[in-house]
Amino acid sequence: MTTAEFDALFEKVCNWGHWGPKDELGTLNYITPKRICEAAALVRKGKSVSLAIPINTVAGPDNPRPAFHYMAQAYDTPNPAGQPQFAMDYLACEFHGDCHTHIDALCHIAYKGKLYNGRPASIVSATGPSAMDITAYANGIVTRGVLLDIPRLRGVKWLEPGEADTDEELEAAETAEGVRLRDGDALVFRTGHHRRRLERGPWNNGYDGEGKAGLHSSAMAMLHERKVAAFLPDGDGETVPSNVDGVAYPIHALQICAMGMAACDSLQFEDLVAVCEEEKRWEFMVVAAPLRMPGGTGSLFNPIAIF
């Protein structure tokens, strides 16, 4: 895709102004009360699974900013007096990156100096954003999740780095699974990124490395038409190398900046897949709540699928 084609696509999927100039919810506006109730009605088995990767404190080729986790207090000295004793810990994390399951705020990305809804990038300063931080999502994402499992469709364990999934393949996955994305849905998009990492170990998946599998930029038009509310990929959704000439991170630019779509990052679906296969259904309730962190450009979180 040329830069010009990308810019045209950006225009096409752009939701700026659609929910008013002060909107900070973006595509979460598609999740109506009705959709929330319908999502809850999918809970028929009574089982929940985590979609998060364990927090990773070990540096590696895909984890240049490992989290710091320390004990603040353990049970060093037995307490004869019978008073309760406490163990406490501490976490420090720069959480954007491929080894920390997180969600992005709408202020996380600027394209040509503009954020979602056309706001200027200058609203984000050294002390943080003055709007569109992660607290806009404080009440969580509660909606129907639809897993489109591309390796299942292709009959492979995972997509190899650099492979891009198109809208046609998304539709083929819908057909194979008997489900169809609609307005307000959370698209749970599986390339097998995490499965590959579990089996092969971490690799440099960046633009200077082996790359990663993801969505083809053109597929964002389909997500726009279907009015998808949130995007939950393993990996970060990007295909690396980029399939747009001269533009890195085109998926982020389209989904967050143009569309205002809730962008999740670096999830895992190993437990989820097992339940989907067992249940033979690929739709479920999703509840995903970021930490209520004023000024956050995103947040660590632990999204939950409920069957």
Q: What residues between 43 and 82 interact with a copy of itself by CB under 8 A?
A: 43-50, 52-55, 58-59, 63-66, 68-79, 81-82
∠ CA 10-11-15 to the nearest 5 degrees?
90
Which residues, in sequence order, are bridge partners of residue 143? 286
Element (H, E) at 164: strand 164-165
Cα four-point dihedral sign 8, 13, 18, 19:
negative
Segment 131-160, which members bind a copy of itself (CB under 8 A)? 135, 138-140, 142
- Total residues at interface with a copy of itself (CB under 8 A): 104
Shorter beta-carbon distance to a copy of itself: residue 70 or 168: 70
Segment 80-109, which members bind a copy of itself (CB under 8 A)? 81-96, 101, 107-109
Give the nearest distance from C-beta 255 to a copy of itself in angstroms.
11
Structure tokens at 177: 């699974």
Residue linked to tokens 């097998």: 192
Closest by Cα among 119, 104, 214, 93 to 162:
214
- With CB under 8 A as the contact rule, the residue among 22, 126, 208, 280 that binds a copy of itself is 126
Closest by Cα among 281, 24, 12, 236 to 135:
24
Shorter beta-carbon distance to a copy of itself: residue 68 or 157: 68
Give the nearest distance from C-beta 304 to a copy of itself in angstroms.
4
Segment 257-296, which members bind a copy of itself (CB under 8 A)? 257, 285, 287, 289-296
Give the nearest distance from C-beta 231 to a copy of itself in angstroms.
16
Rounded to an integer, what distance in angstroms lies between the CA atom of residue 298 and that of residue 291? 9
Shorter beta-carbon distance to a copy of itself: residue 74 or 176: 74
Give the nearest distance from C-beta 169 to a copy of itself in angstroms.
25
Q: Which residues contact 255 (CB under 8 A, 6 or more apart)?
A: 220, 223, 231, 237, 261, 263
Rounded to an integer, what distance in angstroms lies between the CA atom of residue 288 and that of residue 43? 16
Q: Residue 241, interface with a copy of itself (CB under 8 A)? A: no
Shorter beta-carbon distance to a copy of itself: residue 22 or 92: 92
Shorter beta-carbon distance to a copy of itself: residue 79 or 155: 79
CB 296 within 8 A of CB 105: yes
